Amino acid sequence: MKKLLFLLPILAILSAACSNEFEVAAPWEEIPVAYGIISPADTAHYIRVEKAFLDPETSAFTVAQIADSLYYPENAISVFLQRVNGGQFYQMQRVDGSQEGYPRKGGIFATQPNWLYKYKFGALDSLRKGEKYRLVIKRADGKPDITAETTIPRDYIFVDPKPFQDPRFIKFIPDETTNVEWRGDINAEYLNVNFRIRYREEYPDGTVVLDTLDWLAAKNVQRGDQQVSGGLYVGATTISGIGFYQFLKDNIPVEANPPKRYFLGIDFVLTGGGREIREYLEAAAANSGITGAEVFPTYTNLSEGFGIFTGKNTGILRNITLTTKTIEEVGKNPLTSGLNFQL
pLDDT tens by residue, 4-22:
333 333 433 333 333 334 3
Claim to verify: residue 224 and residue 149 sit in the same structural domain: no
Residue 325, Cβ density class (10 Å: 0-12 exposed, 13-18 middle, ≥19 buried): exposed
Cα(222)–Cα(237) distance, integer angstroms: 9
pLDDT tens readout for residues 257-312: 999 999 999 999 999 888 887 777 777 666 555 444 444 456 789 999 989 999 99
Claim to verify: residue 170 and residue 144 sit in the same structural domain: no
Phi and psi (nearest 5°) for 113? -70, 165
Claim to verify: residue 168 and residue 208 sit in the same structural domain: yes
Of the candidates 47, 50, 66, 67, the residue with the CA atom closest to the CA atom of residue 58: 66
Q: What is the pLDDT of residue 144?
A: 96
Claim to verify: residue 69 and residue 170 sit in the same structural domain: no
Comparing 295 with 73, which gets the higher pLDDT? Answer: 73
Q: What is the pLDDT of residue 42?
A: 92
User: Under DSSP, is residue 229 helix (H, G, I), strand (E, B) or coil?
Assistant: helix
Q: What is the pLDDT of residue 9?
A: 38
Claim to verify: residue 82 and residue 168 sit in the same structural domain: no
Cα(330)–Cα(252) distance, integer angstroms: 13
Structural domain including 29 reads 2-153+274-313
41: number of Cβ within 10 Å: 13
DSSP 112-137: SS-EEEEE---TT----TT-EEEEEE
161 upstream amide cis, omega within 30 of 0: yes
Q: Position 1: which residue type?
A: M
Q: How confident is the prediction for the chain on average, in pLDDT?
A: 85
Name, in order, each residue with C-beta under 8 angstroms of 174's C-beta and a sequence gap of 6 or more. Answer: 241, 242, 245, 329, 333
Claim to verify: residue 163 and residue 183 sit in the same structural domain: yes
Of the candidates 316, 320, 213, 217, the residue with the CA atom closest to the CA atom of residue 261: 213
Name, in order, each residue with C-beta under 8 angstroms of 291's C-beta and a sequence gap of 6 or more. Answer: none
In the chain, the number of structural domains is 2
pLDDT tens readout for residues 147-176: 999 999 999 999 999 999 999 999 999 999
Q: What is the pLDDT of residue 262?
A: 98
Name, in order, each residue with C-beta under 8 angstroms of 215's C-beta and a sequence gap of 6 or more. Answer: 194, 195, 196, 197, 244, 247
Of the candidates 174, 134, 173, 178, the residue with the CA atom closest to the CA atom of residue 309: 134
Query: How many residues appear in the chain?
Result: 343
Q: What is the pLDDT of residue 109?
A: 61
Claim to verify: residue 147 and residue 162 sit in the same structural domain: no
Claim to verify: residue 179 and residue 208 sit in the same structural domain: yes
Claim to verify: residue 106 and residue 184 sit in the same structural domain: no
115-119 vs 45-52, strand pairing mode: antiparallel
Instruction: Check: CB of residue 177 under 8 Å from CB of residue 239.
Output: yes
Q: What is the pLDDT of residue 155?
A: 95
Residue 232, sorted as left (phi over 0), alpha (psi -120 to 50) or beta, turns out to be: beta
pLDDT band for 108, please (50, 70, 90 cuts). Answer: low
Q: What is the pLDDT of residue 125?
A: 82
Claim to verify: residue 96 and residue 233 sit in the same structural domain: no
Q: What is the pLDDT of residue 28?
A: 56
Claim to verify: residue 257 and residue 164 sit in the same structural domain: yes
Claim to verify: residue 129 and residue 250 sit in the same structural domain: no
Cα(84)–Cα(82) distance, integer angstroms: 6
pTM of the predicted protein model: 0.81
Q: What is the pLDDT of residue 122?
A: 85
Domain harbouring 189, CATH code: 2.60.40
Host H or E run for residue 265 = strand 260-273
77-83 vs 89-91, strand pairing mode: antiparallel
